[in-house]
Amino acid sequence: MTAPDVALRRLRDQLPLLGALVLVWNLLWGTWSWANLLSGIAVALAVTWLLPLPPVTGGAGFHPAAVFRYLVRFVTDLATSSAEVAWSALRPRGLAAGAIISVPLRTDSDLLLTMITESLCLVPGSIVIDLDREARTIALHLLSVHDLAAVEAQRAEVLATEERVVRAFGSAADIAALDRNPT
């Protein structure tokens, strides 16, 4: 493989990132114009050249119906979780005991694991405190659990979140991995 080929492939891997940076640049200016577009491309190229990131490998899919389901669930989860935490901060009784659980996931893709982790932080009851990439095991802190049944319910909720994310954004192989190991 010659040098231009490598450069071209790197550029292709960086394309989604470049697009996102140009979009952010245009949103910051607030108006759309060719000047903003061109300066945005220049800035995006400079940023990716000066601060290179490892390319996000592993193609992701996009399944509109599942994405819609995921988004609806995400928004309702976000609302209920913040209401829950706000109420536990306000009520005189305070918190019940916390818990730390570790849950083995079935997904093996950097991008999807990132999305799952981000989602889990914003849904009721949990924040992620550790992620073992090789073992695909995620450690979560649960804010307030009364008994072991609540812990198990949270564990099921984590796997359900994983399933929603993978069905929405996963490639065919990721979804197949999900089907091989049903919960």
Partner 1 sequence: MNGVHSVADVIAMACLLLGALLCLTAGLGLLRFPDVLSRMHAGTKPQAVGVLLIMVGSALRLAGSSVVWMLLLVAVFQLITAPVSAHMIGRIAYRRRHVRRDRMLVDELGSGAGRPGGPQGDEPADGDARRGR
Q: Are 44 and 62 in contact (CB under 8 A)?
A: no
For tokens 């796997």, the residue is 159
Does residue 139 interact with partner 1 by CB under 8 A? Answer: yes
Residue 4 C-beta: closest distance to partner 1, Å = 34
| Number of residues assigned to the chain | 183
Instruction: Give the C-alpha separation, 100 to 151, whole Å.
Output: 9
**Residue 47 binds to partner 1 (criterion: CB under 8 A):** no
Identity of the residue, 77 or 175, whose beta carbon is nearer to partner 1 in the bound complex: 77
Give the nearer residue to partner 1 in terms of CB position, either 142 or 175: 142
The string of DSSP letters for 130-176 reads EEETTTTEEEEEES--SSHHHHHHHHHHHHHHHHHHHHHH--HHHHH
- Closest distance to partner 1 from the beta carbon of 90 (Å): 6
Interface contacts to partner 1, rule CB under 8 A: 24, 26-31, 78-79, 81-82, 84-90, 94-95, 97-102, 117-118, 120-122, 127-130, 139, 141, 143, 145, 147-148, 151
